[in-house]
Structure 1
Amino acid sequence: MAEPFRLVPPTEPPQGTLPHNVEAEAALLGALMIDNRLVEDVQIRLRADHFHEPAHGRIYEAILRLVDRNMIANPVTLRPMFEGDEALKELGGPGYLAQLTGSGAALIGARDFATQVYDLALLRALIGVGREMVEKAIDTSESVDPKSQIEEAEVALYRVAEEGGEQGSVKTFGQATRLAVEQAERALNSGGHLSGITTGLDSINGKIGGLHASDLIILAGRPGMGKTALATNMAFNASRRLIRDREDGIEEGKSVGAGVAFFSLEMSADQLATRILSEQSGISSENLRMGKISQLDFRNLARAAQDLESLPLYIDDTPGLTIAALRTRARRLKRQRGIGMIVVDYLQLLQGSARGASENRVQEISEISRGLKQLAKELQVPVLALSQLSRQVESREDKRPQLSDLRESGSIEQDADIVMFVYREEYYVAAREPKHPTEGDDAKTFEAHDQWMRDMDRAYGLCEVIIAKQRHGATGKVKLKFENKITRFSDLADEG
């Protein structure tokens, strides 16, 4: 019988056995001093702390400083900066700088040396993360909280992964043009003038062209306006369109649908699923929760559930996520499930880093909105983030939201590519219902109630989506139909 697998904590490697190549570091520094033009290539990724030998890191930093000032960096110009460097004396003093330039052969492989120095630094960082994980897991003197330790480890690993991720690349105008033509072709082939991911609502698609890759879209509204319902509808429509396009033989890259990661920090996964089932089966979500359904309703519900089983919609309802943890999970879903869209419900429930948490809330929100925009660009997917509005909306006579109503608005408005507001007049009209008149009341009471009834008839089942900011096109309003009982938005029939 095979011996069971055991987790054995690794012993800490001696400093000398950590991955490093001092010779490659020395050769790289020599090459940089011989030809300062090489600095342009290596400084994009390589930092002073990537060098294993601290003295080498200081020499590299000094070279960068001189080159930045348009000065020549060679053993002669660097010498005064290292006259009193004690660590360099052990290597031979300022004369060591001249030794580094002794072999011109290093010029040929300078970029390869830089890559190796960088890769070995990543390996050392990875060992550091692993060692810290082991030490924290073994130490039970403080509170034992493995879940938070796993979360911290994920964030630490994400930092290492981000460090070694793809660097921003320069594209020629020809490459950028090809990408633009491909987008136009996609819009033409979609039949609905869509260059991005579909929202499932033609009126919104027509206004913004769908949800575009690398965009941060903010969907904001006061409580009760239906912003979660609209985001859920969009997520469902995008994932269902992907399934249909697959069935029709449309290539994944040319589909206007997408797999969706839905980070629900407010509602649980089963509550979101109930909403989608309610919308698809036509049974009110309240009746579903309370079991007030007939056998026929239940059969419709079972049929809808079966249809939705293979939907590429992934719900993460972990409460209190940090922006770093959300980015880690989104990267994993992109890698494992190939998601093409992210929804965050809602932005103010996310937490900043530990550093950001000690600062004020505005700075924390700035970190979060910037992090979401970076995530959209990094994964090349649209990020739809819901946001609360401040209470100042309620104090105005016209309660249509404005950009200034966004909570901690500066950073959110600045980072967003599109800002949309959900506004339902019906909600406010219903809230100001006057006293129901009785036989003894005067004419004014009857007239006030009749006027309220007319206002309700006009506003009933209608919703406005206000596009207040759009980098790619015009702003404006879109009218939608909203069925409150089944939380479904749909296009409004053209009155003409």
Structure 2
Amino acid sequence: MTEPAWEPGPDTDSLQDTPPHNHDAEMAVLGAMLLDRRVIEPVDAALAGAADFWTLRHQTIYRTITDLYSATRDPKIDPITVAADLLASGELAKIGGAAYLHHLVNAVPSTANATYYAEIVREHAQLRAVLEATRRATQRALTAASSAAEILDAAMADLQAAAAGVAPADVRLSVGERWLDFMLELEAGADPRALDTPWMDLNEVIELKPGQLVTVGAATGGGKSLFGMNLAAHVALTRGRPALVASMEMGGSELMARLTAAEAGVVLDRLIRRQVSDDDWAKVFKAGPRLQHAENFILDDSPNLTLGKIRARMRWMASRGTAPAIVVADYLQLMTPEKSKPNANRANEVAELSRGLKLLAMEFEIPVVALAQFNRGAAGRQPVVTDFKDSSAIEQDSNVILLMHKPTNDDGTPDDERAGEIDVIVAKNRNGANGRIVPLIFQGHYARLRSMGRM
């Protein structure tokens, strides 16, 4: 079988100018994945992502294989199924057709060495990243675009980014290797990696642990964005841990107004309208130092946020030495699928996004908080887990599900006796009690929620 013509990577005029790569190793990795799906997980753990492959069509094939693998519990991975998926996405011709997939299979020396081939691919990807980092530093220095100190800082950040995503050399997996750390946690009386919330009453019921997907649901205007922002601010500003809020609903200016209102105790509407009184200014200045030095609190309001973009932002934070301790995605149904297809079923797309956020939490070993919207049918009554808009997969993927509900009477009208309160219903709690209702004080004018008890 004749191999379809090889195409060089981007920005390449000749093989002499091609940055480091190993075409045979890339082919061997993909061929092994097509032959034996058991090698997919160790290969994926060894690589930082599809960009580790130099050849563009290899990047496409790798993404397709890993997407198919994570889509179902019992994936079928072979040249035929991968070709069918590439054909459906319009990318089959771009990678050289089905014939190239069969060529990859025939080019594999041994599937047993798949991880070794992946390490070669990863090594060359890091070499390319180092070259790119030094190229940028050289260009900055030649043009004197910044001071020497700033150029050096930027170069160090680029080099740290080049090393991001490397699989740890010493991974503890056996019970024997994990036992001592577990005993130390028991002796300490707490999981040192777990996070609390700013609400004392809720902390008695749930704990945010690494690898968890925590879904917070509410109706439109039901307080889910306040919950997410208050939680992230607590982690970043009170606990001093890096936090990322990926917002698809609000821009950076509105996010800053909400954060400032909550921290300074200034009415949100006056901040949004820029009608700040002298008394308000005094409160803002008092909260200023706390917010001015919040370098580890990242608000990403990039348009059309996808899982890939959130993952890239997390790796960017890690490259700066501030890997996020928590990620808040606001909100799930507004996220853009990686490969949106015409006439795609939105429920399936949201299910893929939900599963993707869960995998993201497990990959980075942090809690990921996904805010989600209810269907209109949930209005006027206490919500249940089946009320999430566009998806029934959220219940399955989530470790913890919190449903927010403003108290109502039996006829659906607001409960005047509980005005200014909001209930947080613990609908699912994989590591604790379910069904608990935790009332919080709803201070919408200050863009914050408060615990009924004292902190």
TM category, shorter = 0.5 to 0.7
Deviation at 1:273, TM superposition (A): 1.5
TM-score (norm 1): 0.59
Give aligned pairs, total: 343
Match of 1:215 among 197, 209, 212: 212
- The answer (yes or no) to whether the contact 2:193–2:210 under 8 Å persists in 1 is no
Cα deviation per residue 1:353-392 (whole Å; 9 max; x = unaligned)?
Answer: 2255653112211221111111111111110110011111
Partner of 1:389: 374
Cα deviation per residue 1:268-294 (whole Å; 9 max; x = unaligned)?
Answer: 122111112112222211122234443
For 2:402, what is the secondary structure of its paired residue?
A: strand
Q: Trace 1:348-367 onto structure 2 (pairs within 5 A).
A: 348-354=333-339, 359-367=344-352
Partner of 2:325: 340
Pair 1:491–1:43, CA change in 2 (3 A): closer
Pair 1:13–1:45, CA change in 2 (3 A): same
Q: Distance in 2 between matches of 1:367 and 1:480?
A: 32
Pair 1:296–1:127, CA change in 2 (3 A): closer
Q: Distance in 1 between matches of 2:195 and 2:175?
A: 25
Deviation at 1:19, TM superposition (A): 4.9
Q: RMSD value over aligned CA atoms?
A: 4.4
Partner of 1:477: 437
Amino acid at match of 2:174: T
Q: Distance in 2 between matches of 1:283 and 1:116?
A: 58
TM-score (norm 2): 0.64
Q: Distance in 1 between matches of 2:411 and 2:192?
A: 36
Q: Distance in 2 between matches of 1:400 and 1:128?
A: 55
Amino acid at match of 2:337: G
Partner of 2:286: 303
Deviation at 1:224, TM superposition (A): 1.5
Amino acid at match of 1:349: L
Partner of 1:204: 202
Q: Trace 1:92-171 onto structure 2 (pairs within 5 A).
A: 117-122=117-122, 165=167, 171=173
For 1:425, what is the secondary structure of its paired residue?
A: coil
Amino acid at match of 2:419: Y
Deviation at 1:418, TM superposition (A): 0.4
Deviation at 1:334, TM superposition (A): 2.8
Match of 2:273 among 290, 295, 310: 290
Pair 1:281–1:364, CA change in 2 (3 A): same
Higher relative contact order (CA 8 A, sep 6+): 2
Amino acid at match of 1:206: E
Q: Distance in 2 between matches of 1:272 and 1:290?
A: 14
- The answer (yes or no) to whether the contact 2:197–2:231 under 8 Å persists in 1 is yes
Q: Trace 1:402-421 onto structure 2 (pairs within 5 A).
A: 402-421=384-403
- The answer (yes or no) to whether the contact 1:357–1:364 under 8 Å persists in 2 is no
Instruction: Considering fraction of residues, name the structure with more helix.
Output: 1
Greater radius of gyration (CA): 1
- The answer (yes or no) to whether the contact 2:20–2:128 under 8 Å persists in 1 is no
Deviation at 1:400, TM superposition (A): 1.1
- The answer (yes or no) to whether the contact 1:356–1:363 under 8 Å persists in 2 is no
For 1:306, what is the secondary structure of its paired residue?
A: helix
Partner of 2:92: none
Partner of 1:82: none
Deviation at 1:176, TM superposition (A): 3.3
Q: Distance in 2 between matches of 1:299 and 1:165?
A: 49
Q: Distance in 2 between matches of 1:187 and 1:357?
A: 52
- The answer (yes or no) to whether the contact 1:233–1:488 under 8 Å persists in 2 is yes
Deviation at 1:217, TM superposition (A): 0.3
Amino acid at match of 1:422: M
Q: Distance in 1 between matches of 2:39 and 2:387?
A: 45
For 1:175, what is the secondary structure of its paired residue?
A: helix
Amino acid at match of 2:271: L
